[in-house]
Amino acid sequence: MFTGLVTDVGRVTAVDGGERLRRITIASAYDPASIALGASIACGGPCLTAVAVEPHGSGCRFTVDAAAETLARTSVGTWVPGTRVNLERSLRLGDELGGHLVTGHVDGLAEIVAREAVTGQEGDQWAPSDRFVLRAPAALSRFIAEKGSVCLDGTSLTVNGVEGDTFTVLLIPHTLAVTTWGERRVGDRINLEVDLIARYAARLTEAHAALTAR
């Protein structure tokens, strides 16, 4: 389980394998002693398992395996050496839950259809933020609600508005600076995980409707 609060931006250093299984090595500032073999790490959204870890510079390099389902459903299959990836280690009991409950199970890919600068106040100064408009897959759009939460590329964000299958999120300067969002452009496809509560609420509603229809 994760919170969607990015704690490092890693860089892919090696990719091996094919369409059924790919082994990916990521360089990170994490202390290698803090990553146990088998640990879960959210890498750009998907929860992946560390199968190897070694010291590298002032941080580490860790390796994860991505199976066919992950490669088909997420952007992991497009990663190449040099790709930058938002990272978050799994939540521990007692940690602050600053974002929202995120499983690391990506539902599909959303596409950025617009990006526009918005001027907002940061402390005593006015600083530029960016508003992103994204299109969700039709099957997932019903789980996205205004003022609700979504996880996009491993980042917990609040939905500002919804219109049909498109929705908007606002990225403040801090988020743009400490995640990969600063380099995102129109046409990019983003890993989308809908809110866990919204998913189960919809499922319960469907089950109730089916029972009452009998």
pLDDT, tens digit, for every residue of 38-47?
Answer: 999 999 999 9
State the catalytic residue, choosing from 14, 52, 67, 177.
67
Please say if 105 is a catalytic residue.
yes
What is the spatial distance between Cα 166 and Cα 113, in angstroms, rounded to a whole number? 9
pTM listed for this prediction:
0.89
Verify whether residue 158 is a known catalytic residue: yes
Tell me the helix, strand and coil percentages in the chain, rounded to 5: 20, 45, 35
More confident residue, 69 or 214: 69
Q: Which of 7, 27, 29, 49 is catalytic?
A: 49
Question: Which residue in 40, 90, 166, 168 is the catalytic one?
Answer: 40
pLDDT of residue 123: 52
> Which among 2, 62, 132, 167 is annotated as catalytic?
2
Question: Is 212 noted as a catalytic residue in this protein?
Answer: no
Phi-psi region of 123 (alpha: psi -120 to 50; beta: other; left: phi over 0): left
What's the rounded Cα separation, in Å, for the pair 113 and 58?
Answer: 38
Tens-place pLDDT, residues 92-140: 766 777 778 899 999 999 999 999 998 755 555 566 789 999 999 999 9
Please report, for residues 8, 17, 86, 123, the alpha-carbon distance to residue 29 in angstroms, rounded to integers and kept in the order given. 7, 25, 12, 29
Residues 6+ apart with CB under 8 A from 4: 88, 99, 100, 102, 149, 151, 154, 155, 156, 157
- Look up residue 11 and give its two tokens: 């860089």
Which of 7, 103, 105, 166 is the catalytic position?
A: 105
Note if 62 is an active site residue. no
67 is catalytic: yes
What is the mean pLDDT of the segment spanning 9-27? Answer: 96
- Lookup: tokens for 61: 């390099």
Query: Annotated catalytic, 40?
Result: yes
Exactly one of 43, 47, 66, 110 is catalytic; which is it?
Answer: 47
| Counts of helices then strands in the chain (DSSP H, E) | 4, 12
